[in-house]
Amino acid sequence: MSPTPEPRRITMTPGARRALEAASRLFYEHGIHAVGVDLIAAEAGVTKKTLYDRFGSKDQLVVEYLAARDERWRAFLAERLEAVSPGPDDVRPPGVARVLAVFDASRAWMEANSPRGCSMVNAHAEIDDRGHPAYSVIAGQKRWMLELFTRLAREAEAGNGNGNGTKNGPRKADQLGRTLMLLHEGALVAHGLRIFPDALGEAREQARALLT
């Protein structure tokens, strides 16, 4: 699959930031299609003219909303992955600990920032047109997560003594990365739907069993 192009971003002024903060809250709480420019402008305390002068269109507001959440999530996750330091009694390879840290970070992020589920999954339910400028943000984050899980799976396999220098090692790690991604994304959806408690904790335990 060819990569989707990077979306165009704008330089933020104070007025644009107010509009984006209002739009981000409204888009997440009510849905992208349900929120109009009039409501965003009123909530932000700016005129519609100011909003269009800064963003050009509602579509660009959606791009900025999703891209900003993606940037915050990646920074949030990076801090937690950097902090992974197995203790002296931890016999797991570092790659395993880092995979589990992704699930821990997702659980903390969802509890603090995403009570209604993953913003990218929710946005994709409304935006499935590959020509929409926000589509590349949605697909880009999920592609990045798959690459992360695949890289961590390779670390875990190497640490376990599996797949290091063997013919099937890279292929096995790629398959493991996809499986971890499926566990993670399914847990995000289950969290948003509140089907059962602590979906991400359950997915973490399934990932741990798979890796060890």
Q: Are 26 and 122 in contact (CB under 8 A)?
A: no
Give mean pLDDT in consecutive 10-residue pieces for the chain, a chain of 212 residues. 68 90 96 97 93 94 97 96 70 79 96 93 94 95 97 83 50 92 96 93 95 86
> Among candidates 78, 84, 61, which has minimal Cα distance to 9?
61
> Residue 156: CB partners within 8 Å, gap ≥ 6?
93, 95, 96, 98, 99, 176, 211
pLDDT in tens, 112-168: 999 999 999 999 999 989 999 999 999 999 999 999 999 999 988 876 655 443 445
Could you say which DSSP state residue 11 is in? Answer: P
Q: Are 180 and 99 in contact (CB under 8 A)?
A: yes
The pLDDT, as a whole number, for residue 98 is 93
Please name the residue ranges forming H helices in the chain. 14-30, 37-44, 48-55, 58-82, 94-113, 119-126, 135-159, 169-193, 199-211
pTM: 0.87
The pLDDT, as a whole number, for residue 99 is 95
The pLDDT, as a whole number, for residue 6 is 75
SS3 174: helix
The pLDDT, as a whole number, for residue 158 is 79
